[in-house]
């Protein structure tokens, strides 16, 4: 009886140790409630695209998922496949941004095309499928989402992922947003980051030295500056201009 009890206590203690070890350090990034509320506000505004519901993911600087939220009531109210994409985007923006230079996922599009300076990057850090598809769908986009506390990996190279810099300029993680056109995803991520006061970007490859999306792909299909992203319709530039006026980069 005593041996059985000792084994049970040891097992409980070991489980507690593992849980603590796997818990993400999320003190520097937004909570689930903060992400969900700001994502809903950002999605409801004029962003171009189709006005669809969105997924949003926050990772810390270690690449661990701290929160994943959705704007629709049910899992199927937004594209189911965009849940993992939002986490990929957050992982990418965090993985390829530095304390002194922010690269959005939108900035990577042209660089990873054949002949680009980062060709092959999108194959470099694959998604961990055992993490991406774990858990019940009823918990997707909630505080019980199985992604929370895990590293999903993945590299995404179109709009929607942005690094997070706090009010002192410290890089603390990233946000990934998915569920609409890639240009609208970028705009919604941009608005959400601004609402969270995590947009004190130190430098970037856009013309204003930020990590904004760059629309400079010429008639030959090549980006003039090497960091361009395709337009997602006739109003892409106009929609982004509106977003910039409403949510300027923190100085």
CB neighbours (10 Å) of residue 234?
A: 9
* pLDDT tens sequence across 169-220: 999 999 999 999 999 999 999 999 999 999 999 999 999 999 999 999 999 9
What domains are defined for the chain? 25-246 (3.30.450.150)
- Provide the residue-wise pLDDT of the chain in tens; the chain has 251 residues: 434 444 343 433 434 333 433 568 999 999 999 999 999 999 999 999 999 999 999 999 999 999 999 999 999 999 999 999 999 999 999 999 999 999 999 999 999 999 999 999 999 999 999 999 999 999 999 999 999 999 999 999 999 999 999 999 999 999 999 999 999 999 999 999 999 999 999 999 999 999 999 999 999 999 999 999 999 998 999 999 999 999 999 98
| pTM: predicted TM-score of the whole model, two decimal places | 0.91
Torsion angle of alpha carbons 97, 44, 74, 25, nearest 10°?
Answer: 30
Given its phi and psi angles, is residue 128 left (phi above 0), alpha (psi -120 to 50 degrees) or beta?
beta
In sequence order, what DSSP letters do the residues of 53-94 get, joined into one string? --EEEEEETTSBEEEEEESSSSGGGS-TTHHHHHHHHHHHHH
The Cβ-side half-sphere exposure at 31, using a 13 Å CA radius, reads 2
The reported pLDDT for the residue numbered 11 is 39
Distances (CA, A) of 246 to 86, 108, 122: 23, 24, 32
Torsion angle of alpha carbons 117, 121, 122, 128, nearest 10°?
Answer: -170
């Amino acid at each position: 009886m005593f041996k059985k009890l000792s084994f049970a206590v040891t097992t409980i203690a070991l489980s507690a140790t593992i849980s603590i070890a796997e818990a993400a350090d999320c003190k520097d990034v937004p909570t689930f409630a903060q992400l969900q509320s700001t994502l809903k506000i950002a999605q409801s505004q004029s962003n171009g695209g189709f006005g669809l519901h969105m997924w949003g993911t926050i990772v810390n600087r270690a690449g661990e998922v701290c929160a994943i939220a959705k704007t629709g009531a049910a899992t199927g109210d937004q594209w189911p496949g965009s849940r993992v994409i939002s986490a990929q985007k957050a992982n990418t923006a965090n993985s390829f941004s530095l304390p002194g230079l922010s690269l959005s996922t939108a900035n990577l599009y042209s660089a990873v095309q054949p002949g680009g300076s980062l060709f092959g990057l999108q194959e470099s850090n694959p998604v961990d499928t055992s993490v991406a598809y774990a858990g019940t769908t009823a918990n997707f986009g909630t505080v019980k989402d199985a992604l929370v506390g895990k590293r999903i990996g993945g590299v995404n190279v179109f709009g929607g992922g942005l690094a997070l810099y706090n009010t002192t300029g410290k890089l603390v993680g990233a946000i990934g947003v998915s569920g609409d056109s890639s240009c609208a995803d970028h705009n919604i991520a941009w608005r959400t980051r601004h609402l969270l006061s995590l947009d004190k970007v130190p430098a970037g490859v856009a013309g204003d030295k930020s990590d904004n999306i760059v629309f400079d792909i010429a008639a030959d299909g090549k980006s003039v500056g090497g960091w361009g992203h395709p337009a997602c319709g006739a109003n892409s530039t106009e929609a982004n201009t509106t977003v910039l006026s409403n949510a300027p980069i923190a100085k």
